[in-house]
Amino acid sequence: MQTPISDPGGHIVGKRLRVRGNSAEEFRKATFVVKASGVPLCSAVVRLLALGFCLSVAVPAFTETVLLTGATVHTVSGPTLAPGQVLIKDGKIAAVEKVIKAKADRVTKLDGHHLYPGLIAASTSLGLVEINAVRATRDASEVGEYTPDVQSWVAVNPDSELIPVARANGITHFLPLPSGGIIAGQSGLVVVDGWTTEDMTVKKPVALHVFWPGMELNTSPREEFKDKSKWKSLEDQAKERREKIKALEDFFEEARAYAKAREAGGKDGLPAENLVPAWEAMRPYVRGELPVMVHADDERQIKTAVQWAATNSYKLILAGARDAWKLAGLLATNQVPVIFERIYNQASGLSSTPARDTYRYDVYFTAPETLHKAGVKVIFSEGLDGQAAATIRNLPYSAAQAVAFGLPEDEALKAITLYPAQILGVADRLGSLEAGKEASLFAADGDILDLRSNVKRMWIAGREVSLESRHTRLYEKYRARPRVQ
């Protein structure tokens, strides 16, 4: 929304874009489109700055207490309250009860609605990819095989048209993934509302991303290769596979040695180690302080990665996980959470056809239930497929598909709220509706796992945000088109 700005003489000197927040710093970050109507540009800018300062300091910080009443409250971590009430104060949830007697500055009636904690997309290219076919809009990958010092959150585009689309379907936070190479970099948790990457970043870093080397062998005869030079014998393929895994293991070993040297540097007469950005970034991961997210689909990849992490005491998160259902026992024994990506197109990235003709048609739809029964924590997301940034809005429907094939509904809801918060290290502030947690939640007109339900209102850190997106603008545009008589 734009508001005309006048100088003391009544001249319109520009338009002020809607400012989020009330602090002088936030006002300073706002963008002005100045159109000097007979007023010198420098004079207009000075007047705008003066006016902005007055406006920003005149309005107190957001301290309103809001009581949400009448809705069915899905706490996720506890019982569902039907109906229940949620009290929001200073950006946090002050109370969640059947009836709250505390007074509030404003009461918001949500009769007939359902309140949920904000959904968390734990594996996505959202914010890093806008139009997959346009190279200039793709910032998800970096050059090189080993780039652990790459930070995905600084590359997020706050003005992406896809972020409001995801927000409109209940997603409040997401983890943008770096890609490319073996060790692609680190990720940070980002909120779907803000002016800059600094505003939007909630936690950094969160995880290191390792794309496990492929372990499948191509048994096709040389005659079937159009380019004969690309054909390799089974022995050569196996050797190349071993070399890639050995290189990955060596890199982690060197990082561990570097971390020990850094800790010992300057002690007992030892020289201080020179800083190496790549290995410096590895320190919290080789020490087991932060998780390593391994992206792997094949059964052999997953088994090797789990054994490697267990041997070295790394905190492991498995993402992709196409064949994870085959190793449910191994994953449960080692307490490895699974981000099950692309439930609709696990096989090839294009369709849901099973990878092998011996598999049942519903093998990927029932996989989450198989993992859950074994005791594995399952999380849903869309991963890094070409259209994943656009389709992440369908996150609740991925969980719903698993429910249709046996996964308990409460587990499906946790798989897109509480469990992502737990594995990403933010369960103390996100993932459920509990007193003391951040008031990031939304109201829907029905069950969020039901395709027919719509998100009607959303609050992030206690402040209500707009659900407008490119989709809604186009809807209104063509809805208002002239009718043919």
Q: Average pLDDT, stretch 431-459?
A: 96
Q: Average pLDDT, stretch 418-439?
A: 96
Residue 231 has pLDDT above 70, yes or no: yes
Q: What is the pLDDT of residue 20?
A: 42
∠ Cα 381 384 385 (to 5°): 105
Is there a single domain that holds both residue 144 and residue 265? yes
Phi, psi of 335 (to 5 degrees): 55, 50
Give whole-number Cα distances, 388 to 130, 162, 176, 358, in Å.
10, 10, 11, 28
Is there a single domain that holds both residue 100 and residue 242? no
Q: What is the pLDDT of residue 69?
A: 96
CA distance 305 to 66: 47
Mean pLDDT of the residues in the chain:
84
Is there a single domain that holds both residue 387 and residue 413? yes
Q: How many domains does the chain have?
A: 3
Q: What is the pLDDT of residue 344?
A: 78
Identify the three-state secondary structure at position 31. Answer: coil
Q: Read off the pLDDT of residues 53-72 as tens digits, 9 standing for 90 and up.
A: 444 443 334 578 999 999 99
Is there a single domain that holds both residue 253 and residue 348? yes
What is the domain-level CATH number for residue 83?
A: 2.30.40.10
Is there a single domain that holds both residue 313 and residue 184? yes
Q: What is the pLDDT of residue 158?
A: 94
Q: What is the pLDDT of residue 455?
A: 97
Is there a single domain that holds both residue 205 and residue 87? no
Q: What is the pLDDT of residue 338?
A: 97
Q: What is the pLDDT of residue 272?
A: 61
Q: Read off the pLDDT of residues 78-119 as tens digits, 9 standing for 90 and up.
A: 999 999 999 999 999 999 999 999 889 999 999 999 999 999
pTM of the model: 0.83
Q: Read off the pLDDT of residues 302-353 as tens digits, 9 standing for 90 and up.
A: 999 999 999 999 999 999 999 999 999 999 999 999 999 988 765 444 445 7
Q: What is the pLDDT of residue 11?
A: 39
Residue 6 domain boundaries: 2-58
Q: What is the pLDDT of residue 316?
A: 97
Q: Are 442 and 118 in contact (CB under 8 A)?
A: yes
Q: What is the pLDDT of residue 268?
A: 57
Listed in sequence order, the residues at least 6 apart from 361 whose beta carbon sits closer than 8 Å to its beta carbon are: 354
CA distance 100 to 77: 19
Q: Average pLDDT, stretch 349-372?
A: 79
Q: Read off the pLDDT of residues 113-160 as tens digits, 9 standing for 90 and up.
A: 999 999 999 999 999 988 878 888 887 888 889 999 999 999 999 999
Q: What is the pLDDT of residue 9?
A: 40
Is there a single domain that holds both residue 383 and residue 439? no
